[in-house]
């Protein structure tokens, strides 16, 4: 079982979070994390994954155009994505700069792909996903690993 960790990052903050999340995915036995940027990802990565955790910097309270373009361009995979797990992560510049609205924009795309959404577990924040201002600190990195592990566990269960 593969879980795709997909990200766009210009300055590196969101990429740092993605790296922690894929570690969490790989902590679950029988699940392989696949870390891809929006430049690298292919339609096969979508189809082969049991779950996708997608992240973007907050751009005007929304996901960056580079991630939106992947969802737009991969629409032909939609019928093959139903029932897979989807989750979101983000980094922002300002504390109230739009982290939740950005994660919701990613979650909205997953819903329309027919996917099953999860937030981060209650042992992390129990909210919309993993998010931070700027570069992730140690606590956020732990939460990122927990989100990765949760999606991996759910993807395994849903594939039964």
Q: Which is nearer to ligand FMN, 76 or 96 (CB)?
A: 96
Look up residue 47 and give its two tokens.
């189809």
The whole-angstrom distance between residue 37's C-alpha and the CA centroid of its chain comes to 11
**Residues in the chain, overall count:** 160
C-beta of 156: minimal distance to ligand FMN in Å?
29
Closest residue by Cα to residue 92 from 11, 38, 21, 147:
11
Instruction: Give the number of residues in contact with ligand FMN, rule: CB under 6 A.
Output: 19
Contact status: 69 vs ligand FMN (CB under 6 A):
no
Among 134, 137, 139, 159, binds ligand FMN (CB under 6 A): 134
Residue nearest to ligand FMN (CB): 97
Residue 159 corresponds to which tokens in the numbers above?
A: 């594939």
- Stretch 17-46 residues interacting with ligand FMN (CB under 6 A): none
Q: Distance (Å, rounded) from C-alpha 157 to C-alpha 155?
A: 5
Report the DSSP beta bridge partners of residue 63: none
Verify binding: residue 143, ligand FMN, rule CB under 6 A: no
- Which positions touch ligand FMN (CB under 6 A)? 9-15, 57-61, 91-94, 97-98, 134
């Amino acid at each position: 079982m593969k879980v795709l960790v997909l990200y766009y990052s210009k300055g590196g903050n969101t990429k740092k979070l993605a790296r922690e999340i894929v570690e969490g995915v790989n902590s679950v036995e029988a699940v392989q994390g696949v870390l891809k940027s929006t430049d690298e990802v292919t339609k096969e990565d979508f189809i082969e994954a049991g779950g996708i955790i997608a992240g973007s910097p907050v751009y005007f309270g929304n996901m960056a155009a580079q991630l939106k373009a992947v969802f737009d361009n991969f629409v032909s995979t939609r019928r093959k994505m139903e029932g897979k797990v989807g989750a979101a992560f983000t980094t922002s510049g300002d504390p109230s700069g739009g982290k939740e609205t950005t994660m919701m924009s990613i979650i909205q795309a997953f819903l329309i792909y027919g996917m099953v959404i999860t937030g981060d577990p209650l042992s992390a924040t129990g909210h919309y996903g993993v998010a931070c201002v700027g570069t992730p600190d140690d606590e956020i990195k732990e939460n990122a690993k927990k989100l990765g592990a949760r999606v991996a566990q759910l993807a395994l269960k849903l594939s039964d």
